[in-house]
């Protein structure tokens, strides 16, 4: 099975990648199109030069690997994809051969977390519009990061049942520290997850945002609400 897990940034996406990799029967690829996205758009991101230098930037080559044999002969291949990376010119036909899953999170939480790592985010940076377009083309189960944090075992059981994959308790924990499949960008973005050995506890109240950050969260809400209406419970 090939699993394409679509999300925006700061959506619990790395924890979900760690959970699937912890199964032992699942290879993982961290944001395959990130370097290609940076090379194509020229957008400034932390560690941009290293990301482009150390990763594949040819979209056709990346697509072929996404659709090709599972790495290491593993039974399953988990691909952590950022919806915002799929700009014009990025191939998408490979996703037709995947089980497409959609990971969402309330915009207020995403904006607060993202802005702490990169200044002045825009709607394009947090991926809600792009994710809505991808969901229309590749519908599949929707799962909310807040629900996972509240009850990881129950939500992972539901997701696994939905996609026809046997749940295993090994998905609930992983060794602390960096992973061999982490992307080049891990030193900037993955500090908290590297200190973890499993999913963090339930989230508290929504963060209070002001000014441009509040406006950004409001602009993302219609896209989030539309997908949240379809999420697993």
Which residue, 83, 96, 121, 128, is CA-closest to 224?
128
> Is residue 16 in some structural domain?
yes
Strand 26-30 relative to strand 76-82: parallel, antiparallel, unpaired? parallel
| Count of structural domains within the chain | 1
pLDDT of 101-124, one tens digit each? 999 999 999 999 998 888 889 999
Answer yes or no: are the C-beta atoms of 182 and 30 closer than 8 Å.
yes
Q: For residue 88, how many C-alpha atoms fall within 13 Å in the half-sphere facing its CB?
A: 0
User: Which structural domain, as residue segments, surrounds residue 44?
Assistant: 2-228
> Is residue 36 in some structural domain?
yes
> Is residue 233 in some structural domain?
no
Phi and psi dihedrals of 139, rounded to 5? -65, 155
Q: What is the CATH number of the domain that holds 17?
A: 3.40.50
Instruction: Report how far apart the first and last C-alpha atoms of the chain are (Å, whole number).
Output: 23
> Is residue 46 in some structural domain?
yes
What strand order describes the sheet that includes 76-82? 26-30, 76-82, 2-7, 99-104, 142-144
How far apart, in whole angstroms, are the C-alpha atoms of residue 22 and residue 17? 9
Q: What is the pLDDT along the chain (233 residues), one digit of tens a residue?
A: 999 999 999 999 999 999 999 999 999 999 999 999 999 999 999 999 999 999 999 999 999 999 999 999 999 999 999 999 999 999 999 999 999 999 999 999 999 999 888 888 999 999 999 999 999 999 999 999 999 999 999 999 999 999 999 999 999 999 999 999 999 999 999 999 999 999 999 999 999 999 999 999 999 999 999 999 999 99
The pLDDT, as a whole number, for residue 116 is 86
> Is residue 107 in some structural domain?
yes
> Is residue 76 in some structural domain?
yes
pLDDT of 47-79, one tens digit each? 999 999 999 999 999 999 999 999 999 999 999
pTM of the model: 0.96
> Is residue 104 in some structural domain?
yes
How far apart, in whole angstroms, are the C-alpha atoms of residue 231 and residue 162? 12
The pLDDT, as a whole number, for residue 118 is 87
> Is residue 171 in some structural domain?
yes
């Amino acid at each position: 099975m090939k699993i394409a897990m679509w999300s925006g940034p700061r959506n619990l996406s790395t924890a979900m990648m760690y959970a699937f990799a912890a199964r032992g029967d699942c290879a993982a690829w961290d944001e395959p199109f990130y370097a290609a996205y940076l090379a194509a758009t020229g957008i400034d991101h932390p560690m941009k030069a290293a990301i482009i230098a150390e990763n594949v930037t040819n979209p056709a080559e990346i697509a072929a690997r996404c659709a090709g044999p599972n790495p290491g002969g593993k039974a399953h291949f988990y691909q952590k994809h950022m919806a915002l990376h799929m700009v014009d010119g990025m191939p998408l036909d490979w996703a037709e051969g995947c089980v497409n899953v959609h990971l969402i999170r309330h915009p207020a939480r995403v904006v607060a977390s993202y802005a702490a790592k990169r200044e002045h985010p825009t709607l394009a940076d947090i991926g809600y519009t792009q994710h809505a377009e991808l969901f229309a083309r590749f519908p599949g189960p929707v799962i909310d990061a807040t629900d996972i944090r509240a009850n990881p075992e129950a939500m992972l059981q539901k997701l696994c049942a939905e996609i026809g994959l046997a749940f295993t308790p090994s998905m609930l924990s992983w060794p602390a520290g960096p992973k061999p499949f982490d992307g080049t960008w891990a030193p900037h973005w993955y500090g908290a997850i590297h200190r973890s050995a499993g999913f963090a506890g339930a989230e508290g109240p929504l963060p209070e945002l002001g000014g441009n950050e509040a406006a950004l969260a409001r602009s993302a809400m219609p896209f989030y609400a539309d997908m949240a209406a379809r999420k697993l419970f």
